[in-house]
């Protein structure tokens, strides 16, 4: 159970990612069904910390705030200074290692992954960072498996996120994992963000302009509302008034994946919500989300989430009750 969170900032800290940590963990949301944490913003050298935005923030707490934290967040920072890698203080790296060794979650937001790499926590792990920095992170942590195409990766209790807004996705994933889907959705509602985005960084590497000047947002929303239907590519292309080839190309450009993979992920996400309600039988969950049978639901659930619908319900329905 998460109770105490410490977010570490260093000179050159990214204001947006710092704001993510403060927004997700630093606000009491009990009045709308969310959590309240003991949250501390800390730094190796307390005082005025210059940000990437050209202003400074006053941070009074030192690294002692990490000593008993359930979550330690490594906030994004400028990893290069005049073409030279920025060296982090040994005390900061030791604090990250100690947190991990005692079983705390260690979370990096965007380039904060380089702090985890310097501490040796990415060795032998799958991880991510902003796609612009992926090759540099792979060089900094040659024993890590850097995936530049995802929004976040949880490997054990080490959670790394991609660029900027992907930090929100990672933090909401942490809330869902530790506190249940209802808590994560409550926080997402207050932040006015989706509780779980689809696709990955690949959709942001190139920013293609749809040929007609229109996106598939309306079609995607309709598909989410009709998950129980059998959505073939020809039928979807007709609904979008596009040729099948153009539809497939545009779908991948806008979502970073194929219609089939996107639909499966949507169905799994919807089944997670239904499984958190103990009154809906698993077979009915499978029907409502379009998988048809509990066996098909179990197959996709295990492939995407690495667990079974029953195990997921046992964990998260109990948390929400």
Backbone angles phi, psi at 89, to 5 degrees: -65, 140
pTM over 0.85: no
List, for residues 69-106, the tens digit of each pLDDT value. 999 999 999 998 877 889 999 999 999 999 999 999 99
The token pair that represents 289 in the structure block: 């989300």
For the chain, domains (ranges, CATH) are 4-191 (3.40.50.880), 206-321 (1.10.10.60)
The residues near 214 (Cβ < 8 Å, ≥ 6 apart) are none
- Calpha distance 27→122 (Å, rounded): 30
Tens-binned pLDDT, residue by residue, of the chain (321 aa): 899 999 999 999 999 999 999 999 999 999 998 999 999 999 999 999 999 999 999 999 999 999 999 999 999 999 988 778 899 999 999 999 999 999 999 999 999 999 999 999 999 999 999 988 999 999 999 999 998 888 899 999 999 999 889 999 999 999 988 998 889 889 988 998 877 665 555 444 433 334 444 578 889 989 999 999 999 999 999 999 999 999 998 888 777 788 998 899 889 888 988 998 888 999 999 999 999 999 999 999 888 877 889 988 887 775 444
């Amino acid at each position: 159970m998460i109770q105490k969170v410490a977010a570490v900032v260093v000179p050159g800290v990214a204001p947006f990612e710092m704001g993510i940590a403060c927004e997700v963990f630093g606000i009491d949301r009990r009045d709308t069904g969310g959590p309240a944490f003991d949250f501390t913003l800390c730094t190796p050298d307390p005082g005025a910390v210059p940000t990437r935005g050209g202003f400074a923030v006053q941070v009074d707490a030192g690294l002692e705030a990490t000593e008993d934290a359930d979550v330690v967040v490594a906030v994004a920072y400028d990893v290069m200074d005049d073409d030279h890698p920025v060296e982090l203080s040994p005390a900061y790296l030791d604090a990250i290692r100690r947190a991990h060794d005692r079983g705390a979650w260690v979370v990096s937001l965007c380039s904060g992954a380089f702090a985890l790499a310097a501490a040796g926590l990415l060795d032998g792990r799958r991880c991510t960072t902003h796609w612009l920095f992926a090759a540099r992170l792979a060089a900094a942590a040659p024993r890590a498996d850097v995936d530049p195409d995802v929004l976040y990766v949880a490997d054990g209790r080490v959670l790394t996120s991609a660029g900027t807004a992907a930090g929100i996705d990672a933090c909401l994933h942490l809330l869902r994992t530790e506190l249940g889907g209802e808590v994560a959705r409550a926080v997402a509602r207050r932040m006015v963000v989706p509780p779980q985005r689809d696709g990955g960084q690949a959709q942001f590497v190139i920013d293609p302009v749809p040929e007609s000047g229109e996106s598939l947002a309306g079609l995607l929303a309709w598909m989410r509302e009709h998950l129980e239907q059998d959505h073939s590519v020809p039928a979807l292309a007709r609904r979008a008034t596009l040729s099948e080839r153009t539809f497939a190309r545009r779908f991948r450009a806008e979502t970073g994946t194929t219609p089939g993979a996107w639909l499966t992920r949507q169905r799994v996400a919807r089944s997670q919500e239904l499984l958190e309600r103990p009154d809906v039988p698993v077979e009915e969950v499978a029907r409502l989300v379009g998988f048809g049978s509990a066996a098909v639901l179990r197959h996709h659930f295990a492939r995407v989430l690495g667990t079974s619908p029953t195990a997921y319900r046992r964990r998260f329905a109990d948390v929400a009750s």
